[in-house]
Each structure stands twice: as structure tokens, then as C-alpha cells.
Amino acid sequence: MPDPNKSLLDRLADFLTPQPTEPGERRQELIETLREAQAEGLIDADALSMIEGVFQVGQLSARDILVPRAQIDWIDIGQALPEIIKNVIEAAHSRFPVFEGSRDNVIGILLAKDLLRHATEKDFQVRDWLRPAVFIPESKRLSVLLRDFKDNRNHLAIVVDEYSGVAGIITIEDVLEQIVGDIEDEHDVDEEADNLISLDNGDIRVKGITELEQFNKALGTHFELEDIETVAGLVIQHLGRVPKMGELIEIDGIEFEVQRADPRQIHILLARQTNKKSD
């Protein structure tokens, strides 16, 4: 527990010197001290949110935030060039995993700019313009992955499971969003596409802004509150406050685990069935 007789600055300074306390306990103490600093106006809420996001990145692995293979916009090397161009334009991404024969056989990454700049050249072959694919295990820590992205100037990695099958993909943007929040770009036209993502362990990764109607439809629940429209609003209304990162909240047979939140709002939760109903 923090020493109440020490000033806030003294307690922050303590984290710069070695201590015998367990790392997890020290981390929580630091987060609590930083929240106190935010409450006293020493740092703003956005800064606190990003700091908590950095801690979260250190605890999460690729499997927690990957885009599942079923949601990937693939390119089949066997497709005719006009069809590939059509798919790239419609998907409007900058990078596409390319497979041959099976989606577990990724042979490279196609950059949209390479395709659209050179597709009219004589004897153009998509295969000649593929960039090497980077493969990572599901267990890879996001903090390590972010450093790899930076050092190797990669922006996309293929996530493979223990059987070497493709589990999904992850981008540098996906990792950065854990720190700074959602990064909207000109191609983010479907605002509900990734509100709910099923993880391999059965949990559902839920954006706080997900509407209750969408959540109810996906999980078969019946949450309905007057003047409350989002999952974040449901949890905050139930608690009577904004929960902290890592907090568990059970509501009518659904356990919510707060993955990312700042003092003002909930950003990301995990939801799972508990098969228990409140009275």
C-alpha cells in the first residue's frame, strides 16, 4: 500500500528505485499514484489514459487483439488481375496478405500502392511485387511486437497458431490503438464491423461504444435501460462510476472485464457468459 505520509512526488520517485515488491503489485501502485496525480490536476485524463494503455500493451499478446482470419480481406494469387484490382479497390486497405492454394499458405504481402501504380505495365505479375510476410506466434507480447514493427519497418504481421495455421493478422495500428485509442482513417467506413470480436478462448472483445442492441443480438442478452445506449453506459450505470482497468463486473450472467479505460470512459471490455443470473 502507498505510504499516506509521503507526498505524491515522493511516491512517484520511489518507482525509479529498485524495490522488493512484486512487479504486478508495483505496477498497480504506480497506476493508483498516477490516477491520484490526474485527480490533483498534475496530468490530464488523456495522458493518464495513454500511460494505462502502455501498461496494457505490456500485458496483452497478439491473440488478444488480432483480426481473425474470417475477417481478413485476402488476395488469392490464382485470381485474374482485374479481379484482384477490383477486390483491392473495394476493400480500400493499404496491405493485403496473399495466399496460394490454402489460406494457411501465405506467400507474401501485397501493397495496394504497388498494384495500382504498376498494374498497367507490360507483363505485370502480382507475384513479382509481393513483400515478404512476417509471421508471429499468438503468444507474442504486444510490447515486443511494437518494437519489432518499429525496428524492421513492418506494418503488418501474420499471426499463426500452435499448428502453424493462420489465426489472423495484426497491424501496427492495432497495437497503437491500445495506447492512444481508436485511430480512425478515411477507410473506416463500417463503424460496427469490429465492435464485437470473438477470441479463441470464447471471450468477446467489446468496444465500449457498442450499442446495447448490437450486443444483445450477438450474445442473446436482453439488456435495456432508459437513456442508456452503449455497453460502456450499461457497466457505468451498474457500478455508479467508471471502472478501473482490470476490474471485473458481473451483470445478469455476463462477466465484463475492463481491458482499457480512462477516468472518463470505458474503451475496451471482454465479455463472457457466467451462466448465473442476478435476482
For residues 132 and 109, the answer to whether their CB atoms sit within 8 Å is yes
Residues 49 and 79 both lie in one domain: no
For residues 145 and 136, the answer to whether their CB atoms sit within 8 Å is yes
Please compute the mean of the pLDDT values over residues 62-79 and round it to a whole number.
Answer: 90
For residues 166 and 159, the answer to whether their CB atoms sit within 8 Å is yes
Residues 78 and 159 both lie in one domain: yes
pLDDT at residue 159 in the model: 96
- In tens, the pLDDT along 140-199 reads 999 899 999 989 888 999 999 988 899 999 999 888 887 776 665 434 434 555 788 888
Residues 205 and 136 both lie in one domain: no
User: Does residue 213 lie within any of the structural domains?
Assistant: yes
User: Does residue 2 lie within any of the structural domains?
Assistant: no
Residues 151 and 231 both lie in one domain: no
Instruction: State how far the Cα of 133 lies from the Cα of 110, in Å rounded to an integer.
Output: 9
Residues 46 and 147 both lie in one domain: no
Give the count of domains, the chain. Answer: 3
144-153: long-range pairs with CB below 8 Å, 24+: 145/62, 145/170, 145/175, 146/57, 146/172, 146/175, 146/176, 149/175
User: Does residue 184 lie within any of the structural domains?
Assistant: no
User: Does residue 8 lie within any of the structural domains?
Assistant: no
Please compute the mean of the pLDDT values over residues 32-42 and round it to a whole number.
Answer: 81
DSSP 116-179: HHHTTSTT--GGGGPBPPPEEETT-BHHHHHHHHHHHT--EEEEE-TTS-EEEEEEHHHHHHHH
Residues 172 and 224 both lie in one domain: no
User: Does residue 149 lie within any of the structural domains?
Assistant: yes
What are the distances in angstroms from CA 272 to CA 11, 60, 266? 37, 18, 17
Please compute the mean of the pLDDT values over residues 102-109 and round it to a whole number.
Answer: 96
Residues 81 and 174 both lie in one domain: yes
> In terms of pTM, does the model score above 0.75?
no
User: How is residue 26 written as a grid cell?
Assistant: 508495483
Lowest mean pLDDT among 20-34, 49-63, 130-144: 20-34
| Structural domain span for residue 41 | 21-59
Which residue, of 151, 179, 207, is where some domain finishes? 179
Please compute the mean of the pLDDT values over residues 97-105 and round it to a whole number.
Answer: 96
Instruction: State how far the Cα of 259 lies from the Cα of 266, in Å rounded to an integer.
Output: 9
User: Does residue 95 lie within any of the structural domains?
Assistant: yes
- In tens, the pLDDT along 183-234 reads 654 344 345 557 888 887 788 989 888 999 999 999 999 998 888 889 999 9
User: Does residue 197 lie within any of the structural domains?
Assistant: yes
Across 32-36, 55-59, 238-242, the highest mean pLDDT is recorded for 238-242
Question: For the sheet containing 102-111, what is the strand order?
Answer: 75-76, 95-100, 102-111
Strand partners, 43: none
Residues 165 and 69 both lie in one domain: yes
